[in-house]
Amino acid sequence: MARNARNRSARNTLLALLAIIVVLSGTLGAAHLWGNPKAQLTPLLGLDLAGGRQVVLAPIIDGDQTAAPEQLNQAIDIIRRRVDGQGVAEAEVSRLGSNIQVAIPGTPTAAQLEALSQSSQLQFRAVLVAAPVVPTQPTEPPRELPLPVGPTEEPAEDPAVEPTDPDNDQAETTNAAYPEGLLADQQPTVQAAGQLPATGGVDAAQATESPDTQTDDAGQTEAPDDSAVTDAPDSAEPTSASDLAWITPELQEEFLTYDCTDEVKQRAASQAPAEEPIIACSAGGTEKYILGPSELSGGELTDASSGLQVGAGGQTTGVVEVRLQFNDEGRDAFSAITTRLFGFGQNSNQNRFAIVLDGQVISAPGVRSPINDGVATISGGFTNESAKELANQLKFGALPMSFEVQTSEQLSPQLGGEQLRLGIIAGLVGMILVFIYSLIQYRALGLVTVASLIIAGILAYLSVTLLGWTNNFRLTMAGVTGLIVAIGVTADSFIVYFERIRDEVRTGRPLRYAVDTGWVRARRTIIISDVVNLIAAGVLYFLSESGVKAFAFALGLSTVIDLLVVVMFTHPVVSILANTKFFGEGHKWSGMDPERLGARRSTYLGRGQFARPAPKRTGPTREQTEGGIV
């Protein structure tokens, strides 16, 4: 009965391991067939094995000034975190004279390369005026700025505004940091953390839809009559960052003719003083703004992250949001900003604030409520990718200076396929030597070692390949070395277990009982050994750079796999084999032959108890002593 229970438990454990392998293999196969992007069936390779692209960034400095070493070191740290935030593994960021050199493995996307040079200070500015960017028309544009003063009694049709679909009463507009073509009720709004977004699109639409256009009953978009447009005051002093007095006639004239495709104007906006208003466009070039002075910078933002919104009951919703957290100074400033903007009402563009990076508005959400605790969320119209991109821009966007791409070139592999081939050969040779030793030392039981190493190899291959797809993990030569070293770590666990079983057999226990007691004795030793390896790998990973990090990660991963294989494969297989005639009766080729191991005979006492034989006497017997024979 007990034997059947042990066999059943061992088989269930093996089935669980098989299920893990099937799930990993199925995930990789599905990602290869239907993933976006599609997963490779082989591990991604790092710079030294596959090459990549090297970009040299030069700081933009006026006159004969030079960048201070402290500024460059700060920029290197931020660029490294920004690259890591994009999921790029094994990238190298270093200082090259007064420039910064970035080497990215593989073929980086245009967005990843562009993100490297987006380097101006992150700013939070109040929106004074917002208008959609429309194709240039041959007609003379209006000469006055459409300030948000409400609708007119007799609006005149603006030929520059396309009519909306009569079946859809919401104007199609777009904003930065989310896909183009979103409806107004999908555009972002900012609210206190934990507050649910507006349902039905009412609040969100009002928070972002520009009031300089009105929609009639037929769905036709109309512009207000020029005669009813009020000019911006040019004499009064502004009383706040949202005061329209910031808009001078010159700024109004520039706004009317502003071209969002002009890179010179974008650079001018990125270099404008923080205390002055600017004109800026959304990152997609679909909306342009007049923005008040900067009221917050990226320095007051302590964290930004993306994820699914959590409702009042603690359950997650399907809404993707970006979460912001400010320090004490930023909390007070953001509270004052959101309180002031909320007072304009959600049907006004002045209810919005713009997040400006490198002269572009990456997001311009409306304010749904005052936020006083320094923790806010932006929601509405985000996908997982766009929310993550915005969070990374907010978290890693503020560099101490602006940069431009000086050179960009493709790198050839430093080691290449030949070194990888030699590394794989070294790993195979190591495994073959372990196989030979196991078969000589443990005979048929050594086949369990062979099978265990093969299972560990399969799990390591699937893990590294899937990590390449999910986290862009790339295998470098240092990582290959870590996997090769792990062969010895894995073999050491098997040796400890088998020797503990042999010790029990030597004391006279039958093999099926020796397997269980030997496992109890070996398990603690194996776990302690693996924990020590994990601690060493963790210390190397967190205190080292580049190649050593890759070695440490591979060593830690293979150590976890070793523990999984020993517990879920090696021990269950040995337990099943111990109940067979070949192993259980100690065949001389089983590796557990009691005579070959020098086992002593034991008397079975029942209930799993055995009487150990008395040790052999080496001195004279009592009869010999009494007979005078010494």
**Surface-to-core class of residue 64, CB atoms within 10 Å of its CB (0-12 exposed, 13-18 middle, 19+ buried):** exposed
Half-sphere exposure of 412 (CA within 13 A, CB side): 3
Which of 57, 320, 33, 30 has the alpha carbon at shortest distance from 182?
A: 320
Q: Tell me the three-class secondary structure of 104-161, residue by residue.
A: EECCCCHHHHHHHHCCCCCEEEEEEEEEECCCCCCCCCCCCCCCCCCCCCCCECCCCC
- DSSP H or E stretch at residue 221: strand 221-222
Residue length, the chain?
Answer: 630
Q: Let me know: does 357 contact 283? Beta carbons within 8 Å.
A: no
Q: Which two tokens stand for residue 340?
A: 């002031």
**Position 574: which residue type?**
V
Which pLDDT value is given to residue 305? 86
- DSSP H or E stretch at residue 536: helix 511-543
Which pLDDT value is given to residue 459? 94
**Surface-to-core class of residue 521, CB atoms within 10 Å of its CB (0-12 exposed, 13-18 middle, 19+ buried):** middle
Which pLDDT value is given to residue 515? 86
Taken in order of first residue, the domains within the chain and their CATH numbers are 2-41+414-602 (1.20.1640.10), 52-118+406-410 (3.30.70.3400), 123-133+170-396 (no CATH)
Residues 6+ apart with CB under 8 A from 474: 43, 44, 45, 46, 47, 50, 89, 90, 105, 106, 468
Q: Let me know: does 236 contact 372? Beta carbons within 8 Å.
A: no
Q: CA 330 to CA 296: how far, in whole Å?
A: 7
Q: Which two tokens stand for residue 56?
A: 């040299």
**Position 3: which residue type?**
R
Which pLDDT value is given to residue 589? 80
Q: CA 597 to CA 343: how far, in whole Å?
A: 88
67: Cα separation from own chain's centroid: 31
**Position 250: which residue type?**
E
Which pLDDT value is given to residue 455? 93
**Surface-to-core class of residue 159, CB atoms within 10 Å of its CB (0-12 exposed, 13-18 middle, 19+ buried):** exposed
Q: What do you get for the CA distance between the two ends of the chain, in Å?
A: 54
Q: What angle do CA 317, 322, 325 make, to 5 degrees?
A: 120
Would you tell me how many other CB atoms lie within 10 Å of the CB of residue 30? 11
Q: At 41, give phi and psi (nearest 5°).
A: -90, 0
Which of 157, 180, 183 has the alpha carbon at shortest distance from 168?
A: 183
Q: At 627, give phi and psi (nearest 5°).
A: -85, 5
Whole-angstrom CA distances from 504 to 445, 451, 518, 567 are 16, 24, 6, 19
Three-class SS state of 76: helix
- pLDDT, averaged per 10 consecutive residues of the chain (630 residues), comes to 71 94 94 82 83 84 70 77 67 84 81 67 88 64 46 38 37 34 45 50 34 37 36 67 91 90 79 88 89 87 85 77 89 92 88 85 89 87 82 70 79 71 83 87 87 92 90 83 84 87 82 85 91 92 80 91 93 88 78 68 53 54 50
Q: CA 491 to CA 450: how far, in whole Å?
A: 9
Q: What residues are paired with 131 via a beta bridge?
A: 288
Q: Let me know: does 193 contact 376? Beta carbons within 8 Å.
A: yes
437: Cα separation from own chain's centroid: 42
246: Cα separation from own chain's centroid: 41
**Surface-to-core class of residue 410, CB atoms within 10 Å of its CB (0-12 exposed, 13-18 middle, 19+ buried):** exposed
What pTM was estimated for this model as a whole?
0.57
Q: CA 69 to CA 58: how far, in whole Å?
A: 13
Q: What angle do CA 560, 563, 569 make, to 5 degrees?
A: 125
**Surface-to-core class of residue 290, CB atoms within 10 Å of its CB (0-12 exposed, 13-18 middle, 19+ buried):** buried
The DSSP 8-state label assigned to residue 172 in this structure reads B
Q: CA 599 to CA 358: how far, in whole Å?
A: 78
Q: What residues are paired with 214 via a beta bridge?
A: 222
387: Cα separation from own chain's centroid: 13
Q: CA 229 to CA 162: how far, in whole Å?
A: 21
Q: CA 302 to CA 299: how far, in whole Å?
A: 7
Which pLDDT value is given to residue 138? 47
Q: CA 133 to CA 8: how far, in whole Å?
A: 70
Three-class SS state of 615: coil
Which of 462, 628, 481, 430 has the alpha carbon at shortest distance from 561?
A: 462
Which pLDDT value is given to residue 606? 54
